[in-house]
Every structure is written in structure tokens, then in C-alpha cells.
Amino acid sequence: MAKFGLSQSVRRVEDPRLLKGQGRYTDDISLPGQTYGVVLRSPHAHAKILSIDISGAKAVPGVLAVITGADLEAQGIGHVPCMIPLKNRDGTPRAETPHPAIAVGAVRYVGDPVAFIVAETPQGARDGAEAVMVDYDVLPAATDLATAHQPGAPLVWEGVKNNIAFDWEAGDRQKTDAAFARAAHVTRLTVVNNRVVVSSMEARAAVAAWEGDRLTLHTNTQGSWSVRDMLAKAVLKMPAEKIRVLTPDVGGGFGMKLFLYPEHVMVSVAARQIGRPVKWASERTEAFLSDTHGRDNITVGELALDKDGKFLALRTKNYANMGAYFSNFAPFIPTGAGTKVLASVYGFEAIHANVLGVLTHTVPVDAYRGAGRPESNYLVERLIDTAAREIGIDRVEIRKRNMVPPSAMPYVSAMGQRYDSGDFSRLLDTALQKIDWAGFEARRAEAAKRGKKRGIGLAYYLEATGGGPTENAKVVFAEDGMVDVYVGTQSTGQGHETAYAMLTSHELGIPVDKIRVKQGDSESLPDGGGTGGARSLYSEGQAILVTTASVVEKGKQAAAEVLEAAVADIEFTPRGAGGGRFLVAGTDRGIGILELATEQRKRVAAGQSTILLDTMETAKIDAHTFPNGCHMAEVEVDTDTGIVTVPRYIVVDDVGHALNPLIVRGQVHGGVAQGVGQALFERTAYDSASGQLLSASFMDYALPRANDLPDIDVELVAVECETNPLGVKGAGEAGAVGSPPAVINALVDALGGKVVDMPATPESVWKALRAA
């Protein structure tokens, strides 16, 4: 394979391995003496546990252990933590929702773990689970976000009044109220951001094994270090250095695999108890009942405008479903994560946001691709279309009139976010031309002749990336002549192995096929920030830059030894015909970086004191980034059936410098597919009486299929980021942020302004048409 430069559309180097079935996922791992665990889960949404009889299960042949919540308490095992301390508007702390890995005394959602059964075989563990006898006192449940916070609703936790776990605010209330008082027009809209089941292709799994007092946990995560640290500190109460978390290949994460789950605790405790490795692997319906869900907000938005259609202020009140327990980062998603982008690309004078976290008897809710930012962008873009319709201004014009111009950069938004770069009007104009907005009425008329209602919609989104303030990388020149690059992020399908190898090759002049990217081992680096918030390239990329720079400096010293020259006379050429070589200035004497690394290893083996090129560095991440772009969709509605199709979809994105445009476009395609799925297909339905999850399989939960999506045309317009040396902004979440409002705005246009909430299923669209 040739050495690749940057900004090239290079096919992913990891794909041949994965396509040939050579990937290694958690459920592929089998350890000597391995046993199997099954979780017995509550069939009720809310019930007291009166008694648990495990004697029958223990008598099942092959059953080795039956562990209950009382057993965990007796061993001093801690609870699954929520890592977000949050203050209410009145300064008091948020409510607590103690989350034992196995329920004690009560269950609070269908799927809440009640016991963990370990046996010699998976079937033996399932037979043991069938033999556990649990006596429940079934209680009323609150599963509907719209009513769970009303007086008289069944309480999820005693002492949490009206199930409101926190009442939080951000922005400038006084300034916002003053702007509304002088507004010429106020648009009000309530939007539903429907709950989604994450549905990663690979289900969760975990394998735990102990060696003395050291635990090794194999599991599919989005970052081994955070899982290790939470498990060590909050749950097992042991030094983190005595836990090794190994993450192999991961088949999709989307935020859901960031977290420490009860099953991680169960396999760890069970493996220590029986003295043998324990594996748990989720089945698909079990995943519906135990993986964190996403979204599930009801938001009231108000937009204040002056007489010329200029945005004055935005006021929001968001009811955010937390489920029955706080997941690790759940309170942060609708608050700190979501509200930071409420200003989007527009010049609001003031914004005030109020977020109420509502507890329900449902699966816990946490980050899902975009994590709060899609919800905020959806509200803003739906409000703008509604305002344009109410006051009679073209929906493109009203956006252009309010966009922050590039001349204002760097710009501090009404939510206090500093945008370093952006050319929003240019991207909007590019998108208008690309989709032929001006010619749409002819396409609408043609559809009408076929009996279809056709609509066009747009949404301009702004994303804000996330992640920690540092990231690590390590470069090791291995004995076999390969170069290993250890990273603190975790690919779950994004193409990190390709991107990081390209960047390393660019800096060191090493062929890509000589570079191996190593990830997922918590012992390979002292810390790693994991993958989430579209952070990987701008954070890990910076870590690779500082590490490769250190490699070059070490290499100059080593080359000076080998070439018998002064360090000041050594030059490094990373690119070009003589790439990857250290040269003595003004001469033809030199040595390649791989040859130099081999020479230095030989010297060490011979007992000589010398400099190796192996290096680890930590990069400081000083600023987050703001990817942005314009999505435009055309939809057609079958008036007889309510079926909505999407015949055209275009995206114009500013992700800064695209290291590999092919991978970027693939990321956007996937995000759009998920956004279209949320907008039109994915309905997570709970029975209001029993609290049962009615859509607990792919028989009842509709994911978009290939023939539900058009060709997604993605154009990249680079406005390079000013806050990192790569100029990158992040692309992993962008597709899922802009697509729901674009699709629903197009549908509302097709229906002549009639509001339809997500998911706009054929049934709901058909009802809207008949109601008219």
C-alpha cells in the first residue's frame, strides 16, 4: 500500500479484515474454564419484591451460582454511579436514584435485573433463571413523559415530588424576558423528540476473569478507561490499576456503549465468587430492555422576533425523560450538552433554557448520537419554519437575515459558546443550488399529477463536540518492523485505524501498511478519553501530532549517534521521494526512520546505552469545535396510506479540514439514516397500564431499511477550525443532528403547514390528513 497524504479519499484499511470475518468481538472471546451468566429481569414496570426463592435454581444441573441484590449488598458492592452533580434552580442538589446492579426491595422498570444465574452452559443458566421464584407486589407505574410529572402520578422514587429529579436553568432569564416584552411577534411551538432504541448491530457483552486480586474485563465499550475507573472506584472499591478493561472490535456504539452497566458488575462479582471466568452476552430483546435509550424530550419553545423578522430571544422549557435511574451521564445530556447549541448559527440577543429531568418507570435514558444537540437543533429549526409561516417571510430569507456572518468570527453566542469559524450563509447558498430549491414547485406539481403531496424542507444545524481536556498517544517501533500507535479513543466503526494511520504516515513518512493502530487496552496508556461527542480526530489527532513530533526529536538525537554528526545538523524529511529519513544537512548521508529504529533496538540488545524512538505524549485539548451544515430533504406523501418517502436528500457540511473525505461522507450517511429513522419510523411504545415495552423487538420496532433511503448527496465545504492544528471540527454526529428537522420541515411543507410529531409513521400522517 502506498503512503497516503492527508485530504485523500482512502478506503478503510480495517475493512478487509472485518469483511473477511476476521474481526474479534466480545462474544467471540472464550476463556479457559469459562462459564455463562444469564440475567433474570423484572416482568413488571413497578413492584415490590416480597421474596426471592433461589433454591430451585441452585438445584438445576450445571448451575454454579445465583446472585441477588442482597448478595451484592452483603459483599459491600457499590451502586452503578451517576457522574453528573447537578444543581437545581434554587441551588439544591438534584435527586438521587440509587442504582444497585441487581434490584433490592423493588423493581422500577420492565427489565430491571432481579438475579444473576451462572452455569456451565448458556442453556443451564437459562434453565436456572426459569427456576428462580420471585413474589412481586405489583404497583402502578408511570411510563409516559407527558403525564409522569403531573400531580398524582405514581412515583418512581419516594421523596422525589412529581417525579421531577431536577429543575435546572441556563442563560439569561432577565434579558430574555425583556426581549420578549418588546417583541413584535412571538412564535410558540411544542415539539416531541421521540424515544429511540439504539439498536447497535453488535449487542452488548462482557467476559470477566480474575487472577489473584486482579480483574480483567473484556467488554464492548466506547472507552476502556472510564468503565475501568467507575467500576473500580464506585462499585468494587479497589485500585483502578488492578482492573484491566480490554475492548476488542466494536460493532456500533452511538453513545450507548460509553457506560458502566449492571452486567459489568455482575460478571465481575460472579467471576470472583466462583473462581472462574464468566461471560454474559445480550440477546436482542434483552438489549431493548437493558441498553440505555436515547432522546425522549417534550419541549416548549418560544421565539421572539422584531418587526423585521430579526430574532431577539429564545425561551425553552424541556421535559427530559431520565427513565427509572440516572445513567452515568444522563443529567448532562439535556442540560450542559444540549443547551450549549440553542443559539445555533443565529444572532440571538438572549436565551433562557429551563430543563426538568423527569423520572419514569422505563429503561434509563442517556447519550445517543449527538447527545442533546440534535434535540436542541430540532426545536430551533422547527420554530424558525413555524415563525416564517406565521409572519409571512420566506423560510430561507428569515434564516439568512439572522445568521452570524463570517466577519463576526470569533463570535460568542447567547449561550456563551465561542465560535472560532464559520461561513453559514455560503453553506446555505451551496445547498440551495445543489437541491435546485428554485425549481422545486415544478417537482411538486409533477408529484400532484401522480396523486402525491410533495414537500421540501431545510435545517441548518450547529453541533458542539465534547470530551475531556487531554488525550494520550504512544508510538512504539515493534520488533517485527511494524509501528504500533496506541490511542485513547475507541473505534466502533468510524474508521479510526485508517485516519490515525494516515496522520502518523503523514508526520513520520512511514507507509500506512507498516502502521498498526492499537486501542481498547486500559493498560496501554495511563488514561484515554474514549470516543463520544465527535471528539476522536480533533483530540486524538492532536495527541498523535505531539507524539510524532517527539519521535522526530528523539530520532534526530539517535540519528546523530548513528551518523556521527551533531544533533543540530540533523534534518528530518517526512514527505516526498526521500520521506521518512533523517539527513545530515548539506550531505547525502542519511538513514530511514524504520532502519534507525531497528539499529537502536540492536544497540540496546547489545547492552549499549542509547536512545529509542518509542514515545508517549499527552495533548492538552484547549477548545471544542463547532461542526455545522445545511440539510435539505424532499418528501412525498401517499394521501391514501400516509406513507412518507424521501426521494431526495442533500447535505452541505463544514467539518473543517476533512482528513479522509470518503470516511467523512460515510459517517454523514450513517447519521442521516439514523435521523430519518427517528423522524419517520422508530417508535418506542410502552403500555400505559402495565408499563410493558410493546416495541421490544424488530418485529415491532421499525428501523429504516436500504430502500427507505435515497442516495444521500454530501458536499464538504471546508472552513478550517482555528483552535486545533489539524483544522478539523468533527463529523461523527453531524448527520444525526440535521436530518430530523429537515425531514419533518419537508413533511410539514407537504401537508400545507399541518404539524406532525416524530415519528411521522403512516398511521399518524394518515390521521393528520383525515383530521384536515
DSSP string, 507-522: HH---GGGEEEE--BT
pLDDT > 80? residue 578: no
Question: For 182-231, how does the pLDDT look when each residue is reduced to its tens digit (9 = 90+)?
Answer: 999 999 999 999 999 999 999 999 999 999 999 999 999 999 999 999 99
Apex 374 CA angle, 697 and 746, nearest 5? 85
- In this prediction, what percent of the chain has a pLDDT beyond 70? 99
Residue 534's pLDDT is 87
pLDDT digits (tens, 9 = 90+) for 741-756: 999 999 999 999 999 9
pLDDT at residue 7 in the model? 87
Contacts of 171 (CB under 8 A, 6+ apart): 339, 342, 350, 351, 352, 353, 414, 415
pLDDT value at residue 4? 43
Cα separations (Å) of 437 from 396, 430, 444, 456?
10, 11, 11, 8
Report the candidate in 601, 621, 616 with the shortest Cα–Cα distance to residue 523. 616
Closest CA to 468 of 107, 83, 52: 83
User: In this predicted structure, what is the pLDDT of residue 579?
Assistant: 79
State pLDDT tens for residues 429-445: 999 999 999 999 999 99
Which parts of 615-719 are beta strand (E)? 615-620, 628-638, 644-654, 712-716
Distances (CA, A) of 162 to 159, 261, 360: 9, 27, 10
- Looking at the predicted structure, is the pLDDT value of residue 280 above 80? yes
Residue 3: pLDDT over 70: no
Q: Which amino acid is at 621?
A: I
- The average pLDDT across 123-141 equals 98
C-alpha pair distances (Å), 108 with each of 44, 88, 261, 302, 362: 8, 24, 16, 35, 7
Among candidate residues 483, 479, 474, 471, the one with its CA nearest the CA of residue 509: 483
**pTM for the whole thing?**
0.97
Q: Give residues with Cβ within 8 angstroms of 77, minimum separation 6.
A: 100, 101, 235, 236, 265, 269
What pLDDT score does 6 carry?
Answer: 82
Using pLDDT thresholds of 50, 70 and 90, give the confidence band for residue 5: low
Q: What is the mean pLDDT of the chain?
A: 97
How large is the greatest C-alpha to C-alpha distance in the chain, in angstroms? 87
| Cα 361 to the center of its chain, rounded Å | 24
Question: 81-112 pLDDT, tens per residue?
Answer: 999 999 999 999 999 999 999 999 999 999 99
Distance between CA atoms of 759 and 762, rounded to whole angstroms?
Answer: 9
pLDDT at 29: 98
pLDDT score of 1 more than 50: no
Q: Residue 772: which pLDDT band, with cuts at 50, 70 and 90?
A: low
d(CA 411, CA 477): 44
Cα 369 off chain centre by: 4
Q: How far is CA 16 from CA 12, 498, 669, in A?
A: 8, 12, 21
CA–CA gap between residue 126 and residue 324 (Å, rounded): 26
User: How many CB atoms lie under 10 A from the CB of residue 513?
Assistant: 13
Write the pLDDT tens digit of every residue in 645-685.
Answer: 999 999 999 999 999 999 999 999 999 999 999 999 999 99
Enclosing H/E stretch for 412: strand 411-412
